Structure 1
Amino acid sequence: MSTDALLTRLNGILGDGLAVDPDVTAAYRRDVMPLAPFGEPLAVAFPTDTAQVQEVVRACAEHGVPIVPRGAGSGLSGAANAIDGCVVLVTTRMNAILEIDPDNRLAVVEPGVVNLDLRGAVEKHGLFYPPDPSSYDWCTIGGNLSTNAGGLCCVKYGVTTDSVLGLHVVLADGELLKTGRRTVKGVAGYDLTKLFIGSEGTLGVITQATLALRPLPQAPGTMVAAFGSTEAAGVAVTRIVREGIVPSLMEIMDATSIEAVERHLKTELGAGKGCAALLICQSDSGGEAARRELGMIEQVCTDAGAEMAFTTFDPAEGQALLTARRAVLTALEVYGAWLTDDVCVPRTRIAELIAGCERISGEVGLRIAVVGHAGDGNMHPTIVYDPTSEDEFARARQAFDDILAVGLSLGGTVTGEHGIGKIKRDWLAREIGPIGLRTHRAIKAALDPGNLFNPGSMFH
């Protein structure tokens, strides 16, 4: 069948929710990751409800045209990147919060709801949606689900999958699968909900999610500690975990990150000259419990060799420190374009990863800043390069792969929260091995035998 016939049919389904003008579709070819390949879509579809998604899927399946599901495009792995001749299915117009149930502490949302908007809506009911990716002010729940996104609060509250009760998913035949439950417990059958979370749009299109909420925590207290060596900071992290202390946030910044942020924000973080690493922790336990928790963390940091340790319960001071942590990528732009990696290592080996990144920086001759979630070992080494230089781009790509190799050698994983997408397919195969890859392919073939959804993403 001709593409003209498909476009006519899609236009009948979507009306002005279909874009074919190359000047418009160009904005939906790729996400934020500069390394990932992308193609030219045939069209971009903007459905407004599940029924339209089903009709689009059926039409594309009948014409043999692949579908690439996409949210806001804030991804960092190329998982939502177009391939030539595909239909990019954008879920941002499906942005309704369908229900907030305070008594059962859950919300039902469409995939286009912005993470921050959901957090704001449930806060009015004294509730809290924990996952908070760094792009939380514009990324959507659908994208968070598809990549199993994390964020700064993971150390205490887990990643996206830990807050999901059930899903509605449009399958490759256009049928609607409903997974999960609204109850606190439920073990009926395979856990299909978790199968689709993190599947990066390769198995179906998520059109609705039932999310578990938590009571709104107390305003957090904040502790910051500066260390003269990354090894000392690593020892502090290990001891905090060993002591059984679970802060609501535990972030680490290396010297390069600190320098960039202080220059960008025109402020001092209190680290002082010679600071190799800054550890930022928060406790949202409230009252005396938070004071006790942060007091224990501060003591651990001091015992591990911190040159400065300071605790504040002033919300403005705490927010300033978090603003500095979230500003790292923006701060690095003054030096050039950035390419951020995403490796997760055992928490006892964070210092070794940072040391490995310092070595790689020297080998490739490029600035590498390391910042990340110390509480769960998920680090984001960020390589800075000149985007107009093919040589520097090649060296940045080499550094990206070398960092992944170091992460695996330390007993880690090649992605903690950004996903595999189209840039880490070979690394996924290396990490999970041939039997793991065969199992992935078998699941894909069972649910999507025509390879309709996001072909070429995650694995070959």
Structure 2
Amino acid sequence: MDALLTRLRAAVGPDAVLTDPDVTSAYRRDMMPLAPHGRPLAVVLPSDAGQVQEVVRACAAHRTPIVPRGAGSGLSGAANAVEGCVVLVTTRMNRIVEIDPDNRLAVVEPGVVNLDLRGAVEKHGLFYPPDPSSYDWCTIGGNLSTNAGGLCCVKYGVTTDSVLGLEVVLADGELLKTGRRTVKGVAGYDLTKLFVGSEGTLGVITRATLALRPLPQAPATLVATFSRTADAGVAVARVVREGVVPSLMEIMDRTSIRAVEQYLKTDLNADEALLICQSDAGGEAARRDLAVIEQVCRDSGADLTYTTDDLSEGRDLLAARRAVLNALEVYGAWLTDDVCVPRTRIADLIAGCERIGADLGLRIAVVGHAGDGNMHPTIVYDPTSEDEFARARRAFDEILAVGLALGGTVTGEHGIGKIKREWLAKEIGPVGLRVHREIKRALDPENLFNPGSMFS
């Protein structure tokens, strides 16, 4: 491997090739404790697309696998190293190349932090919608690779809905340009959407053209509490039926409510479920939206509803939802699942998680994006106990089984990675799996990119 390391250093500079095991160990895995990981031969940090091309060509010549990686905030093991690989980290490619207010688009490199992009375009009165919970440190490249979502998906969609075009380094080192800068464009296959969500298995994204929206109005906020989870589920379904599209609609179950109350030392006045909604329509339009949602919640059995258009107060109310993971650390380590079900089955999923927790003797808190049915059951366990860790792993899989049985999918925004490969096969079936493998083989015949992820 000395010849490969020499070539990598020539491509990106000696300071950008890390081989000290004490240093490279920090790049072995993402935030998912269940996913397998190996020891990389080297960690390489290119600064531009040309360097990425040279790294790919060098690794291809030496038949050494490449695992693309952003900031490492993922929750599926998609960026986990495999034994003897080169981890290609894109965080140094962090330029916002262009912001075009007239055409409402931005051109960025993959290492740009999500929050930094949002702040930069806001100065132009524009808005980049995808907002994963780690938006203050996750990078656009990682968001693209996993097709990340966030709290605002109910109105604005996931990452792919904001992507116009990409530049991608392929397995032969060539630079592919996909998509366009225009609002419309249907020439050829939609290669842009093929690469978004491909988790680094088809190529290395080096640049993205992103669609922006006008900066929304400051949101108005509604909170509703329920003594029955089923009633909260009914309220969500009825809101959708009414045709109201809030910019945010989140749900918390009893376990997450109790954890947050203890953590924030507050009383949320909710027994079984809490619903938080926001509308960024502005002014009277936002008030109308929330009035409809409030009436729906009351008709569905809400014990309490409260609405405010005060921005600071709204942030305080939403803080309870954002604090759930930190709050659960009071009880132990946490393991977050990601399953999306039809909105009419949210209450059934929460009930299923309660059964699983009771059967396995584990605390499971359920929070999620009620507006699109994307739930995040979070399993709390003692990491020093092998038995408890094994039960946590079993709970993780049983939750996915419940989600599929309810007509859902095994991931709404975290991706498949190295932790849900068998579940992808169950969901898409043998024909779907064959098509995936044929696409992979056509673009990456030597299985250079991220072997062991998704299905390979």
Is this a same-fold pair by TM over 0.5? yes
**Map of 2:418 onto structure 1:** 422
1:14 aligns with 2:12: yes
Shift of 1:12: 1.0
**Map of 1:165 onto structure 2:** 164
Secondary structure of the 1:177 match is strand
User: 1:190-235 CA deviation, whole Å, 9 max, x = no partner?
Assistant: 0000000000000000000000000000000000000001100000
**Map of 2:139 onto structure 1:** 140
Alignment partners' CA distance in 2, 1:30 and 1:304: 44
Question: Structure 2: which amino acid aligns with 1:56?
Answer: V
1:254 aligns with 2:250: no
2:276 to 267, 276, 280: 280
Alignment partners' CA distance in 2, 1:330 and 1:170: 38
Alignment partners' CA distance in 1, 2:107 and 2:266: 41
**Map of 1:72 onto structure 2:** 71
- State how 1:426-441 maps to structure 2 within 5 Å: 426-441=422-437
Secondary structure of the 1:309 match is strand
1:402 to 375, 379, 398: 398
Secondary structure of the 1:39 match is coil
Alignment partners' CA distance in 2, 1:419 and 1:321: 29
1:337 aligns with 2:333: yes
2:2 to 1, 4, 15: 4
**Map of 1:358 onto structure 2:** 354
User: 1:234-282 CA deviation, whole Å, 9 max, x = no partner?
Assistant: 00000000000100000000011011111111222343xxx10000000
**Map of 1:87 onto structure 2:** 86
Contact (CA 8 Å) 1:47, 1:90: kept in 2 or not?
A: yes
- State how 1:153-192 maps to structure 2 within 5 Å: 153-192=152-191
2:321 to 318, 325, 336: 325
**Map of 1:195 onto structure 2:** 194
1:106 aligns with 2:102: no
1:234 aligns with 2:233: yes
1:294 aligns with 2:260: no
Question: Structure 1: which amino acid aligns with 2:240?
Answer: V
1:128 aligns with 2:127: yes
1:449 aligns with 2:445: yes
User: 1:324-374 CA deviation, whole Å, 9 max, x = no partner?
Assistant: 111111110010000110000000000000000000000000000000000
Deviates more, 1:8-17 or 1:231-240: 8-17
1:411 to 387, 403, 407: 407
User: 1:80-120 CA deviation, whole Å, 9 max, x = no partner?
Assistant: 00000000000000000000000000000000000000000
Alignment partners' CA distance in 1, 2:323 and 2:434: 40
Alignment partners' CA distance in 2, 1:432 and 1:82: 26
**Map of 1:380 onto structure 2:** 376
Alignment partners' CA distance in 2, 1:109 and 1:213: 12
Shift of 1:321: 1.7
**Map of 2:207 onto structure 1:** 208
Alignment partners' CA distance in 1, 2:135 and 2:440: 29
Secondary structure of the 2:209 match is strand
Alignment partners' CA distance in 2, 1:149 and 1:326: 17
Contact (CA 8 Å) 1:32, 1:78: kept in 2 or not?
A: yes
Alignment partners' CA distance in 2, 1:102 and 1:424: 40
Secondary structure of the 2:365 match is strand
Alignment partners' CA distance in 2, 1:415 and 1:312: 33
Secondary structure of the 1:396 match is helix
Question: Structure 2: which amino acid aligns with 1:282?
Answer: Q
Shift of 1:156: 0.2
1:305 to 301, 307, 310: 301
Contact (CA 8 Å) 1:269, 1:321: kept in 2 or not?
A: no
Alignment partners' CA distance in 1, 2:268 and 2:231: 19
- State how 1:219-230 maps to structure 2 within 5 Å: 219-230=218-229
Alignment partners' CA distance in 2, 1:229 and 1:215: 38
* Cα RMSD, aligned residues only: 0.5
Contact (CA 8 Å) 1:347, 1:376: kept in 2 or not?
A: yes
Question: Structure 2: which amino acid aligns with 1:387?
Answer: P
Contact (CA 8 Å) 1:302, 1:309: kept in 2 or not?
A: yes
Question: Structure 2: which amino acid aligns with 1:417?
Answer: E
Alignment partners' CA distance in 1, 2:170 and 2:75: 25
Deviates more, 1:219-228 or 1:324-333: 324-333
**Map of 1:266 onto structure 2:** 265
Secondary structure of the 1:208 match is strand
Contact (CA 8 Å) 1:65, 1:86: kept in 2 or not?
A: yes
Alignment partners' CA distance in 2, 1:269 and 1:448: 52
- Structure 1 residue ranges without an equivalent (≥5): none
Secondary structure of the 2:120 match is helix
Secondary structure of the 2:43 match is strand
Alignment partners' CA distance in 1, 2:346 and 2:133: 20
User: 1:135-176 CA deviation, whole Å, 9 max, x = no partner?
Assistant: 000000000000000000000000000000000000000000
Question: Structure 2: which amino acid aligns with 1:4?
Answer: D
Question: Structure 2: which amino acid aligns with 1:37?
Answer: P
**Map of 2:50 onto structure 1:** 51
1:458 aligns with 2:448: no
Alignment partners' CA distance in 2, 1:209 and 1:409: 36
Shift of 1:13: 1.2
Tell me which stretches of 4 or more aligned residues in structure 1 moved more than 4 Å.
none
Secondary structure of the 2:71 match is coil
Alignment partners' CA distance in 2, 1:400 and 1:90: 29
Alignment partners' CA distance in 1, 2:184 and 2:265: 49
Alignment partners' CA distance in 1, 2:343 and 2:383: 33
Scaled by the length of structure 2, the TM-score of the pair is: 0.99
Alignment partners' CA distance in 2, 1:148 and 1:436: 19
Alignment partners' CA distance in 1, 2:263 and 2:50: 47
